[in-house]
Amino acid sequence: MGTDGRGLCLARRGLLVLPLAAQAPDALAAVMAALRGNREVRASFVEEKEVAELERPLISRGTLAWRAPDRLEKRTIEPAPELFLVEGDRLTLERPQRGISETIALDAAPEIRPLVEALRATLAGDIATLRQHHEVSFSGDTARWRIILVPRSLRLRGAVQRITLEGAGGFLEVVETQGNEGRTRLVATPAP
């Protein structure tokens, strides 16, 4: 079989494209390994929630804490105290000003679990769990990366169409959700 000039050009392009395509999974694996290496992370956050009915975004501030393998805490300080805590398969939500304090099993709230796992599995560097609950797209490299998650659950997708996670190395800096009720963007800064 002979190779004409066109076939050789296509073969060269194929050789050039394959290494680029092969880099993405390796970069994703490297990012997941860097995240997995963090056994405990503390950060402050600023969160903006855009709601169609409001002219300006709602802004909240607080702290985040992650402790491997499965403890995630979001403590809002402003504008009102709130605690969102996941430990294992239990979710605790406290809103003292409203007199709310409840703990539920994540399995009892199947629409919440994929949202929790989007954060928890990312922080744990657990790509298998991310893929269990979401379609996963990755871009970037270990220095700057972006992961886009689309919930597999049609029920959840009715409320949240996409979750975008951005970071640098082993630190998750931005969590943005796009849903029926608007957009939420949380920006985290490592605690000193």
Does the predicted TM-score (pTM) go above 0.75? Answer: yes
pLDDT at 128: 95
Q: In terms of Cα–Cα distance, which of 60, 65, 61, 69 is closest to 43?
A: 65
What is the average pLDDT across 4-9?
A: 41
Q: Are 183 and 174 in contact (CB under 8 A)?
A: no
Question: Is the pLDDT at 7 greater than 60, yes or no?
Answer: no
Q: Give the per-residue pLDDT at 16.
A: 37
Confidence of residue 74 (pLDDT cuts 50, 70, 90): very high
**CA-only gyration radius of the chain, Å:** 20
Q: What's residue 155's pLDDT?
A: 82
**pLDDT mean over 124-131:** 95
Strand positions, DSSP E, the chain: 40-50, 58-67, 71-78, 82-87, 90-95, 100-105, 134-140, 145-151, 160-168, 171-179, 182-190
- pLDDT score of 181: 81
- Other Cβ atoms less than 10 A from the Cβ of 82: the count is 19
- Residue 54 confidence class, pLDDT cut points 50, 70, 90: confident
| pLDDT at residue 26 is higher than 60 | yes
